[in-house]
Amino acid sequence: MTTAVRERTQTGRSFGAPTPRDRSPADPGRRNTALLVGFTATTNLADGVMKMALPVLATQLTGSPAQVTAVSLTLTLPWLLVALHIGVLVDRFDRRRLLWGANGMRLAAMGWLTASAVTGAVTLGRLFCAGVILGVADVLASTSASALVPAAVPAAGRERANTWMVGAETVGQEFAGPFIGGLLLASGTGLALGLISASYALAALALLLLVGRFRADRPDPDATPVSVNSRIAEGMRFLWRDEVLRTLSLVVAVLAAVWGAWLALMPLYAKQAMELGPQQYGIVLSALGIGGLAGVVAVTWVNRLLSARWAMFADLIGTTAMVALPALTTNIWAVAAGAFLGGMGGTLWSVNSRTLAQRMVPDEMLGRYGAAARLFSFGAMPLGAGLVGLLAELGGMRLAFAVFAVATAATPVLFLRNVTRSALEAR
């Protein structure tokens, strides 16, 4: 759901000229880019394995669907509960140290689970506790890493850095992580959990090689102390008062709800309406991931050809197609094509929206803005999943898809009206 920016303004194809803080040596930027991509790849691979391992461990302890899904929920619920508070931390402390702290939390949780697995002492309570710790660590790591990019990479290299980071997330979370997780769990739970821990440790060591200063400007020591809630409110006001950022947040909330709905309903739709077996359903899911990777390969070319604004607009069309085609047909290739377009559009949006935020948002506000923006998307996904289930129950699955397609089709009007070429050139 997770904005490519060109450094110079040419025919409306960039989001603005570089600011003084963007002008830094290219060589450290290249090394930092490689390190950040490596960190992202390693941690997301570990996350992909872990998000598969925890529910599987839960199924070995209980047959209750509610308890198994509750274990998975612990990994995402912190985005709704603590994201805004973590945004304040990211704007007050060294962001690299916060990444170390996040990986330290991950190592502690995985070490505890590994020891429990080896001794046969895994319980649901331990899975819940570990899941909460890992979920909070994910919020802290994701928010800190995104806010750290402008300090680590010059403006001219951010499109490339964000592109490869999004690609690493896609491969780790959607492809390699689940696949490797299945192989590791088949070899032994202790081995799987131990290798996840080793991956987090390796990623933390890579951060030692980053070059730069990774703490936002400190507030005036003589200024009146500001409470955490006031800082959160300041970040929310900043987002809401900026027409472009507000529009992007509202649009991404709709897109995230659509993705939550599609992911929640598609397994049942594929089985009952499309009459697909597991292997055929895998084709549809693979199309989603392949589309995401295609977006990684194409985003720079698309931005140069069309501009970043129109690349983001393409996501609105792709997501509309993703949710509309199941409402219109049960043909597997048509639905898979829609999934491909949705996956590709999602990458185009993610890369460009990140780079745009890194250009528009002041360094001292990046943590709070990032947390607030993610709150819109992560909060909308479960709402979309719940609403699509209700609609499908009342009017059928194809009607449910159609309702979300209509909602998505309305977003281009808002986007084109407020995210204008002139508004982006003024940044």
Tens digits of residue pLDDT in 368-404: 888 888 888 877 887 888 888 888 888 888 999 999 9
Indicate if the pLDDT at residue 26 is higher than 80. no
Mean pLDDT score of the chain, rounded to an integer? 83
Q: What residue ranges do the domains of the chain occupy?
A: 20-216, 228-427
pLDDT tens readout for residues 211-239: 888 887 665 555 566 788 888 888 888 88
- 3-state SS assignment for residue 271: helix
From the list 304, 357, 351, the residue with the least C-alpha distance to 164 is 351
Nearest alpha carbon to residue 66 among 55, 75, 52: 55
Q: What single-letter amino acid sits at 55?
A: P
Crossing angle of helices 124-152 and 83-90, rounded to 10°: 40
Residue 23 has pLDDT above 70, yes or no: no
Q: Inform me whether the pLDDT recorded for 7 exceeds 50.
A: no
- What pLDDT score was predicted for residue 14? 41
Give the pLDDT score at 60.
Answer: 84
Is the distance from CB of 375 to CB of 84 less than 8 angstroms? yes
- pLDDT tens digits, 108-126: 999 999 898 888 888 999 9
Other residues' Cβ atoms within 10 Å of the Cβ of residue 406: 13
pLDDT, tens only, 316-330: 999 999 999 999 999
Integer-rounded Cα Rg, in Å, for the chain is 21
Domains 20-216 and 228-427 share a fold: yes
3-state secondary structure of 4: coil
- The CA-atom distances, in angstroms, between 356 and each of 6, 77, 98, 422 are 10, 27, 23, 14
Per-residue pLDDT at 5: 32
d(C-alpha 170, C-alpha 40), whole Å: 10
Q: Which fold has domain 20-216?
A: Growth Hormone; Chain: A; (1.20.1250)
Q: Which residue has the tokens 């500001």?
A: 226
CATH topology of domain 228-427: Growth Hormone; Chain: A; (1.20.1250)
Q: Is residue 21 over pLDDT 50?
A: no
